[in-house]
A and B are shown apart, each in its own frame.
Chain A
Amino acid sequence: MMHPAFPRLALAAALALGAASTAQAVEYGTLDNGASQVGFRYSQMGVTLDGQFQQFSAELHFDPARPEAASTRFEVPLASIDTGSPEGNDEVKAKTWFDTTKHPVARFVSSSVKPLGSNRFEVTGQLSIKGKTREVSFPVTYTPGTPAATFDGTLPLRRGDFSIGEGDWSSFDIVANKVDVTFHLVALPLASK
């Protein structure tokens, strides 16, 4: 009879070997939408509120051996927003906010990835919301894993830069200018697509 600990040991060894031998070869590229999250944090008269996007999609290329060659094109259908209240969800689709009829998608296209050491990277690229495009840079932390790797980060933006909240809403006294877009992305190797 086999020792009861043996299969576990064998599995652990296989995983460790597998991870070591594939570390150079794997390229992450398939977003696991169910496990990933894209949200945002904003502030309203000193009250911090969290929102989520229910939908998003990404083209992703990340090879841990060549991180500087990584790239992404990330899209968020803005009508999938959840601001935390049904009243707010209706409001932000309107013309003064995202104008989702005319500008349904927010898009980020990376242009460079700079390693910062210890699995942290500075990602730079073009962020387009509501017909306005701006260059943004933000740090991303990469956590290796088998089979999925995770990428966590926060992209701070000023809603005023993209005319998100015009007219009565353009004052930052009530809804603050600063909005932090937060993401937790789980990516599977491209091959498993």
Chain B
Amino acid sequence: MEPRYTPTAITLHWLIALGITGAFGLGVYMHELPLSPTKLQLYSWHKWAGVTLFLLILFRLGWRLTHPAPTLPGTMSPMQRLAAGAAHWLLYGLMIAIPLSGWLMSSAKGFQTVWFGLVPLPDLLAKDAALGDTLKDVHEALNFTLLGLVVLHTAAALKHHFIDRDSVLTRMLPRFQKS
């Protein structure tokens, strides 16, 4: 049988992929809106989603560190293996850095993050408008780096499936029937 990711890893992968897509789209949409109750609501939702994703990602990172990924197909060259490894760890790094940068930006801009309006996150920075603007640029740059990497990640997965015809994509797909 082909090596597969654990069901937990598969669930976390797709849940986080969906969450990131939503939070990214919301972020792009909301930041150009004129000030309105809707805008404030969307910002809160985006922050709540970000905190939730951050926690899921921390759990996923812990899972990944204690449950090694299945081995890559023998057909892959050492160069490809190196690139795949680097891309995956870079994705993890960005998934940690992006919510952190958003949290720091909120603190610097003087708007505390209160998860679901109930759990206040400590402000890690004092209010500083200039720093807030810098962190906004950082948050944006990290996000577009992630977007580029996700495009690459998806293209690589599709190449493995349709060109190399190996199991690299399918081992991360949920299995709907027991075999």
Residues of A within 8 A of B117 (CB): 45-47
A74-111: which have CB < 8 Å to B? 84-85, 87-88, 90-91
B98 to chain A, nearest CB (A): 21
**Given A84-B110, A84-B111: A45 and B40 within 8 A (CB)?**
yes
Q: Which residue of B lies closest to A84 (CB)?
A: B110
Cβ B37 vs Cβ A49 within 8 A = no
**Given A45-B117, A46-B117, A46-B118: A174 and B37 within 8 A (CB)?**
yes
Residues of A within 8 A of B111 (CB): 44, 47, 49, 84-85
Residues 44-80 of chain B: 1 if any A CB is under 8 Å from the residue's CB, otherwise 0? Answer: 1000000000000000000000000000000000000
Residues of A within 8 A of B36 (CB): 168
A151 within 8 A of B: no
Contact of B35 among A45, A47, A48, A88 (CB under 8 A): A88
Q: Which residue of A lies closest to B38 (CB)?
A: A168
A24 within 8 A of B: no
Residues 168-181 of chain A: 1 if any B CB is under 8 Å from the residue's CB, otherwise 0? Answer: 11010111000000
Q: State the total of A-B contacts with C-beta under 8 angstroms.
A: 45
B109 within 8 A of A: yes
B138 to chain A, nearest CB (A): 19
Residues of B within 8 A of A88 (CB): 35
B124 to chain A, nearest CB (A): 16
**Given A45-B44, A47-B44: A169 and B37 within 8 A (CB)?**
yes
Interface residues on B, range: 10 to 19
Q: Which residue of B lies closest to A45 (CB)?
A: B44
A90 to chain B, nearest CB (A): 8
Residues of B within 8 A of A91 (CB): 35
B90-130: which have CB < 8 Å to A? 109-114, 116-118, 120, 127
Cβ B37 vs Cβ A168 within 8 A = yes
B175 to chain A, nearest CB (A): 40
B134 within 8 A of A: no
A90–B35 Cα gap in the complex (Å)?
A: 10
A27-47: which have CB < 8 Å to B? 44-47
A87–B40 Cα gap in the complex (Å)?
A: 12
In the complex, 22 of the A-B residue pairs with CB atoms within 8 angstroms, ordered by the A residue number, are A44-B40, A44-B44, A44-B111, A45-B40, A45-B117, A46-B44, A46-B116, A47-B44, A47-B111, A47-B117, A47-B120, A84-B110, A84-B127, A85-B109, A85-B111, A87-B35, A88-B35, A90-B35, A91-B35, A168-B36, A169-B37, A174-B41
Q: A44-B44, A46-B44, A84-B127 are in contact. List 18 more A-B contacts (CB 8 A).
A: A46-B114, A46-B117, A47-B112, A47-B114, A48-B112, A49-B110, A49-B111, A84-B110, A84-B111, A85-B109, A85-B110, A88-B35, A91-B35, A168-B37, A168-B38, A171-B37, A174-B40, A174-B41
8 tightest A-B CB contacts, nearest first:
A46-B117, A174-B37, A45-B44, A46-B114, A47-B114, A91-B35, A84-B110, A174-B40
Q: Which residues of B contact A (CB under 8 A)?
A: 35-38, 40-41, 44, 109-114, 116-118, 120, 127
